[in-house]
Chain A
Amino acid sequence: MRNIRLIAQMSINEMSRRKILPILGIMTLGFFVLFDFVIGGQSSAAVPGNPLSNLATVVGDKVMAAFFVNLFIGFMAIFIVSGAITPEVDNGTLLVILARPLKRWQIIAGKWLAVLVMQVVMIPILVIVTSIIVHAYFPHQSIPLPALMGTILSFLEEGWILSLLALLGSVFLSQVANGIMIGLAFIINFIVGSMAQLVHHSLILQIVSPTLSLLMPTNELYRRALFEWSGGISNPFLLSALGPFGVTHPPAGSIAIYAIIYTGIIFAITCRSFARLDV
Chain B
Amino acid sequence: MVPNAIETVALKKIYGSHMAVNHVSLIVRRGEIFGFLGPNGAGKSTVVKMLLGLVTPTAGTARLLGHSYREVSIRRQIGYLPELFRFPPWLRVQEVLTWHQKLSGLTPNLGQVRDILQQVGLEGRESHRVKSLSKGLQQRLGLGVALIGDPVLLFLDEPTSAMDPLGRHEMSQLFKAMRKQGRTIFLNSHLLSDMEHLCDRVALIDHGNILYTGTLQAALQNQHGGYRIFLDQLPEACLADLSQHDLSLHPVGEYWHFPYAREKLPVLHQILAHHAIDVYEVEKDKKSLEDWFLESLETDDPVHGPTHEPKLLRKDERRA
A interface vs B, CB < 8 Å? 2-3, 6, 10, 13-14, 17, 91-93, 95-103, 276, 278-279
Q: Chain A interface: which of B80-88, B207-215, B282-290?
A: B80-88
Given contacts A17-B88, A98-B53, A101-B72, 8 further A-B contacts (CB under 8 A): A93-B87, A96-B145, A99-B78, A101-B73, A101-B74, A276-B56, A278-B49, A279-B55
0/1 string, B55-79, CB within 8 A of A gives 1: 1100000000000000011111010
CB distance from B148 to the nearest CB of A (A): 9
Residues of B within 8 Å of A17, CB to CB, are: 88, 90
Structural contact, A3 and B103, CB atoms closer than 8 A: yes
Nearest A residue (CB) for B78: A99
Of the candidates A2, A10, A92, A279, which one forms a contact with B99 in the assembled complex, judged by CB atoms under 8 Å apart?
Answer: A10
Structural contact, A279 and B75, CB atoms closer than 8 A: no
Q: A10-B99, A17-B90 are in contact. Are A99 and B84 (CB under 8 A)?
A: no
Structural contact, A97 and B88, CB atoms closer than 8 A: no
A-B pairs, 8 with minimum CB distance? A92-B85, A99-B80, A101-B75, A100-B103, A17-B90, A278-B55, A95-B82, A92-B84
Interface residues on B, range: 20 to 34
Structural contact, A101 and B76, CB atoms closer than 8 A: yes
Residues of A within 8 Å of B100, CB to CB, are: 96, 100
Q: Give CA–CA (A279, B49) in the complex, Å.
A: 8
A-B pair number, CB within 8 angstroms: 69
B interface vs A, CB < 8 Å? 15, 49, 52-56, 72-76, 78, 80, 82, 84-88, 90, 99-100, 102-105, 142, 145
Residues of B within 8 Å of A97, CB to CB, are: 103
Residues of A within 8 Å of B104, CB to CB, are: 100-101
Residues of A within 8 Å of B82, CB to CB, are: 92, 95-96, 99
Name 23 A/B residue pairs within 8 A (Cβ), A-sorted. A2-B102, A2-B105, A10-B88, A13-B88, A92-B82, A92-B86, A95-B80, A96-B82, A96-B100, A96-B142, A98-B54, A99-B54, A99-B80, A99-B82, A100-B75, A100-B100, A101-B73, A101-B76, A101-B103, A102-B72, A278-B54, A279-B49, A279-B55
Q: Give CA–CA (A2, B74) in the complex, Å.
A: 18
Q: Give CA–CA (A65, B99) in the complex, Å.
A: 40
Residues of A within 8 Å of B72, CB to CB, are: 101-103
Nearest A residue (CB) for B52: A99
CB distance from A270 to the nearest CB of B (A): 17
Q: Give CA–CA (A128, B54) in the complex, Å.
A: 45
Residues of B within 8 Å of A98, CB to CB, are: 52-54
Of the candidates B55, B80, B88, which one forms a contact with A93 in the assembled complex, judged by CB atoms under 8 Å apart?
Answer: B88
Nearest B residue (CB) for A89: B54
CB distance from B311 to the nearest CB of A (A): 27
Residues of B within 8 Å of A101, CB to CB, are: 72-76, 103-105
Q: Give CA–CA (A2, B107) in the complex, Å.
A: 12
CB distance from B209 to the nearest CB of A (A): 20
Structural contact, A95 and B85, CB atoms closer than 8 A: yes
Nearest A residue (CB) for B90: A17
CB distance from A1 to the nearest CB of B (A): 12
Residues of A within 8 Å of B54, CB to CB, are: 95, 98-99, 278-279
Of the candidates B53, B84, B88, B145, which one forms a contact with A14 in the assembled complex, judged by CB atoms under 8 Å apart?
Answer: B88
Q: Give CA–CA (A93, B99) in the complex, Å.
A: 13
Residues of B within 8 Å of A100, CB to CB, are: 75, 100, 103-104
Structural contact, A99 and B75, CB atoms closer than 8 A: yes
Residues of A within 8 Å of B99, CB to CB, are: 6, 10
Residues of A within 8 Å of B78, CB to CB, are: 99
Q: Give CA–CA (A98, B85) in the complex, Å.
A: 12
Q: Give CA–CA (A95, B99) in the complex, Å.
A: 15
Q: Give CA–CA (A101, B101) in the complex, Å.
A: 11
Nearest A residue (CB) for B53: A98
Of the candidates B15, B80, B102, which one forms a contact with A6 in the assembled complex, judged by CB atoms under 8 Å apart?
Answer: B102
Residues of B within 8 Å of A91, CB to CB, are: 84, 86
Residues of A within 8 Å of B55, CB to CB, are: 278-279
CB distance from B318 to the nearest CB of A (A): 24
Nearest B residue (CB) for A93: B86
Nearest A residue (CB) for B142: A96
CB distance from B88 to the nearest CB of A (A): 6
Q: Give CA–CA (A103, B87) in the complex, Å.
A: 20
Residues of A within 8 Å of B73, CB to CB, are: 101
Q: Give CA–CA (A97, B80) in the complex, Å.
A: 10
Nearest B residue (CB) for A102: B103
Q: Give CA–CA (A14, B88) in the complex, Å.
A: 8
Q: Give CA–CA (A17, B130) in the complex, Å.
A: 13
